[in-house]
Structure 1
Amino acid sequence: MDAIVSRLGEVYAELPRGERAIVRVLLDDYPFAALGSLRALADRAGVSPPTASRLFDRLGYDGFAAFQSAVRAEAREHDRSRLHEFVTRTPDTHRAAEDLRSGLDGTLDAVTEPQLTAVAELLAEARGVWAVGGPLSELAAEYLVRQLASLRPGARRVPESASERARALLDLGASDVVVAYDFRRYSTRTATFVEAARARNARLVLVTDAWESPLAAHADVLIRLPREAAGPIAPLTHEIAVTELVLVATAARLSPAARLAELEQLTQVLR
């Protein structure tokens, strides 16, 4: 992992809102967003140049020019490393497995007991639970609903079409919970539905990445996964792992043995 990208991820949660906006722009288009002017970077983030400048001071650089020099130096080193790897590499599935295991450990460690308790209470007590995700994270939303529906009634996916979503919103209220999975690049369709649900006083559990979905400010419970969950392949693995934790914690509050037994009986009848 690039050291500068890693550092940006580490400090993100502690930054003021304006500086977070700068970090999101940098990470969404790294390293290219760092190679223009300070004003261009600030304009992309919708903040003032002094706000952007404060971020680089906070990171320990002697101004934006020093930050750019560090980005260029790291990019050159990264290119050299990639060239060496291309020339010398051999298949290393063991290393890939170790990387996946390490990333999963970091993700699971990032979910605290108080967070799990809060989510489990919401999912156990809600009148209805609706799950929604983006282009890939919708698979985690589907997994949550399939498993949760075995534990309690009223667990549903947010439908795809606008008309069906509108009908779902008609019946949403303060007794309902929306579970949203939202990762870069953040889904505008997810945001639109969640904001409409929140306007009707539905509760929100948000699972997002290190840089945080714009929906973070609306969340009753926010689960923020580390940067390792934001790669091109790993996200679903991490999201499913966190969903498993949520399901186990929820099941402990529902005592679903009788429901599960009836489900198994019905399954056998219908085969």
Structure 2
Amino acid sequence: MENDPIKAKLGAAYPDLPPGERAVVRVLLDDHPFAALGSLRALAERAGVSPPTASRLFDRLGYAGFADFQAAVRDRSRLLEFVTRAPTAPAEATTGAQVWQAAQDLRTGLEGTLAAVPEQLCQTVAALLADARTVWALGGPLSELAAEYLVRQLSGLRPGVHRVPEPAYARARTVLDLSGSDLVVAYDFRRYSSATARFVRAARARDARLVLVTDAWESPLAAEAEVLIRLPREAAGPIAPLAHEIAVTELLLVAAAARLAPAGRLADLDALAQTL
């Protein structure tokens, strides 16, 4: 899943780790390589665990303690490779190589992302998007852009599509009217959003259905989801891959459009747009 061997090792070990060590891995992967370059105590605090718990992770992974892990990160960091120019190469050539590598990484990542949404899964989500009484979408600090994209496009295809409002009281009014006929689509990736979690759990308590788009490490909301879409999160250099979330969203929208046959609605929308 990851080109960086250290991140790959962390990812391979993740499913079999106890909860505290999983929390440390999530921090390391979310803020690679910087999370590994401070003190063990600082890392443990970010993960919400004790320093001994964090230390056990590195022993389990085969490192001679945290310092050995830090040295490996410094040596193998993909981010550092991306931003460090070779002194003998012209700046233009080095920058060009970086951009080419980023393009290759993005292409590989997109292929893996699209493969993570097979036909049956896509059709299952499309049916929910088409048939729900209302659809509510939300995301975190970056993934909210994917949620907004879903709302803008889907609202052209069918009525009753909304972005979850930001203020707590407005969210409370939204949850108040939810039922099993309504659908929540949540995008939740590492640095998982506590605000997203609160809304989703309140909505599920009202029997609203949930489609969750998350990363391979899984949002804490994974157990709440009726349909779970796990995306690989390979990045193009230091850039978070929003393109993956948008690409999957477009797949779901195309499948939903095929069920909704929205030609008449779209024609009316275009006509109204000309007059307003």
**Alpha-carbon shift at residue 84 of structure 1 (Å):** 6.0
Corresponding position: 1:173 with 2:179: yes
Partner of 2:139: 133
Structure-2 change in CA distance of 1:73 and 1:184 (3 Å): closer
Q: 1:201 to 1:246 in 2, by over 3 A?
A: same
CA distance in 2, matches of 1:43, 1:157: 30
Q: Secondary structure at the match of 1:262?
A: helix
Shift of 1:179: 0.5
Q: Structure 2 vs 1, CA of residues 47 and 259 (structure 1 numbering), >3 Å: closer, same or farther?
A: farther
Once the 2 structures are TM-superposed, how far is the Cα of residue 86 of structure 1 from its aligned partner? 4.5
SS of residue matched to 1:108 = helix
> Within the alignment, does 1:214 sit opposite 2:220 as a pair?
yes
Q: In the alignment, which residue of structure 1 is the partner of 2:25?
A: 23
In structure 2, distance between residues paired with 1:222 and 1:172: 20
Identify the residue that residue 148 of structure 1 maps to in structure 2.
Answer: 154
**202 and 80 in structure 1: CA distance in 2 versus 1, 3 angstrom threshold:** closer
2:189 maps to which residue?
183
Q: Would you say 1:8 and 2:10 are equivalent positions?
A: yes
Count how many residue pairs are aligned between Structure 1 and Structure 2: 264
Which residue identity does 2:133 align to in structure 1? R
Counterpart of 1:197 (choices 176, 200, 203) is: 203
AA aligned opposite 2:177: D
Give deviations 1:112-136, integer Å, cap 9, x for gaps: 2232122111111111000011122
Distance 1:117 1:55 in 2: 42
Rounded to whole Å, the distance in 2 between the matches of 1:262 and 1:231 is 43
- Specify every segment of 5 or more residues in structure 2 that has no aligned partner in the other structure, as ranges: none
Q: Which runs of 5+ in 1 are unaligned?
A: none
Aligned-pair identity in percent equals 58
**1:1-271 → structure 2 map (5 Å cutoff):** 1-12=3-14, 14-15=15-16, 18=19, 20-28=22-30, 30=32, 32-33=35-36, 41=44, 44=47, 46=49, 53=56, 57=60, 61=62, 64-65=63-64, 69=68, 71-78=70-77, 81=81, 85-87=85-87, 88=89, 89=91, 90=93, 91-92=95-96, 93-228=99-234, 233-268=239-274, 270-271=275-276
Could you say what the CA RMSD is over the residues aligned between the two structures, in angstroms? Answer: 3.2
Partners of 1:150 and 1:255 in 2: CA distance:
11
- After the TM superposition, which of the residue ranges 2-11 and 189-198 deviates more from structure 2? 2-11
**Whole-Å separation in 2 of the counterparts to 1:80 and 1:250:** 42
Q: 1:229 to 1:204 in 2, by over 3 A?
A: farther
Distance in structure 1 (CA, Å) of the matches to 2:216 and 2:257: 27
Question: What's the TM-score once normalised by structure 1's chain length?
Answer: 0.81
**CA deviation string 1:219-241 (max 9, x = no partner):** 11111111215975343211111
* More divergent stretch after superposition (125-134 vs 45-54): 45-54
Distance 1:52 1:124 in 2: 48
- AA at the equivalent of 1:2: D
Q: Secondary structure at the match of 1:65?
A: coil
CA distance in 1, matches of 2:143, 2:181: 25
**Change beyond 3 A, Cα 1:44–1:238:** closer
